[in-house]
Amino acid sequence: MEAHRLDGDNRLKLGVFALNCSGGCAISSAPEAHAIEWRRNVAIAREADLGGFELLVPIGRWRGFGGITDYNGTNFETFTWGAGMAQATECIGIMSTCHVGLIHPLVAAKQAVTIDHISGGRYGLNIVCGWSKSEMDMFGAPMLPHDERYDYAGEWIDIVRKAWTAQAPFDYEGRYLKVHQAVSWPKPLRQPMPPLMNAGGSPRGKRFCAEHCDIAFVLLEPGNMGSTRQRIAEYRSFAREEFGREMKVWANGYVVQADTQARADAALHRYAIELGDDVAVENLAQELGVAGKLPSREAYENFKFHFKAGAGGYPLVGTAQSIADTLCGLADAGLDGVLLSWLDYAEGISAWNRTVSPLLKKSGLRA
Ligand SMILES: Cc1cc2nc3c(=O)[nH]c(=O)nc-3n(C[C@H](O)[C@H](O)[C@H](O)COP(=O)(O)O)c2cc1C
């Protein structure tokens, strides 16, 4: 088995987010926005692998958000994508993002183990419960009340865990799921289990994540490092106190790198404001139901801006040095990893490997 880079010594781990979906994280009609083509996906993943990145995480998405870009509307299914990525790369970790309501846990467990074996133990699973009603409707799948989705996910992951570990046939009878004399061979190479990730943000979601997962994937508010530090610490201490478990905390961040801050700001303005797909982001925001939850029109516009810029991730906008400094600040605040996205992944990762990586090495953040 390969050593999993996730277990390595780098103080801040790095991943690439959303390679499998058109646009990636940027809701923009800029011509260089991410296009879905397998060879391009492989070339980007290999560049990240060579650069020492720890993880590839796809978005679990089945339909787009309309607008002129139909943002995310062209997308690779994440288990088959993960299998291909496993074969195409050498050392980087690979995740699938699975909607628990759409795939039977015994099928998911088996698909996951298959990728774990193809990759030599580099696999992990990102669990999502489904927040988009139009996505669930497309399958005729029920949209359970919010907190119940996590109850369902709890049963689902119990079955996956048993499939990965049980040495004898097992039965399971829950409120939502039943299996009879289930068997699943082979077991994962990665022991005791492939790592699990979840991005639940509500109290029920955080509880699910703390109880079952190894990595909490969170949205961080830019700016105030004090509150960031506190939020990260709260995630960890909650998992420790409630379930006696150690949890890592990762966030997503969008990168706009240039040789001056002014050029980086201008590049962001161009793709997110001048060429931003306002219809697609409005559709996404409506589906999320955020307008009613935010305190003001200004907060709503700000939300949409960050979604167009990079799926609401932490802004890493500036020079190689300022980006490296921000990452050092986030690591000091306790963050374990960042999943990055770019408008143009190929150009972005290549510049990252040449210019940001050496600075992170110099600062001691990464080897
Ligand atoms: C960084 C991040 C990435 C996410 N990726 C996906 C995804 O790929 N597919 C999906 O259906 N939901 C995704 N979600 C949505 C979450 O699964 C979840 O529905 C959301 O964070 C709301 O959490 P809550 O249900 O606890 O309120 C993501 C959320 C965040 C913050």
Instruction: Please report, for the chain, the start and end positions of each structural domain, with discontinuous segments joined by +.
Output: 5-362
Residue closest by Cα to atom 5 of ligand 1? 59
At residue 2 the predicted structure's pLDDT band, cuts being 50, 70 and 90, is low
Residue closest by Cα to atom 4 of ligand 1? 199
Q: Is 62 a pocket residue for ligand 1 (Cβ < 6 Å)? A: no
pLDDT tens, residue by residue, 39-91: 999 999 999 999 999 999 999 999 999 999 999 999 999 999 999 999 999 99
Q: Is 201 a pocket residue for ligand 1 (Cβ < 6 Å)? A: yes
Tokens at 61, concatenated: 């998405």
| 198 burial via Cβ count (<10 Å: 0-12, 13-18, 19+) | buried
| 191 burial via Cβ count (<10 Å: 0-12, 13-18, 19+) | exposed
Tell me how far the alpha carbon of residue 167 lies from the centroid of ligand 1, in angstroms: 33
Average predicted confidence (pLDDT) for the chain: 97
User: According to CATH, what is the number of the domain 5-362?
Assistant: 3.20.20.30
pLDDT tens, residue by residue, 277-303: 999 999 999 999 998 889 899 999 999
Indicate yes or no: pTM above 0.85: yes
Secondary structure of residue 63 in the 3-state scheme: coil
Q: For residue 131, give the ligand 1 atom closest to its CA.
A: 19
Tell me how far the alpha carbon of residue 219 lies from the centroid of ligand 1, in angstroms: 9
Tokens at 291, concatenated: 């307008």
Task: Give the C-alpha separation, 48 to 32, whole Å.
Answer: 19
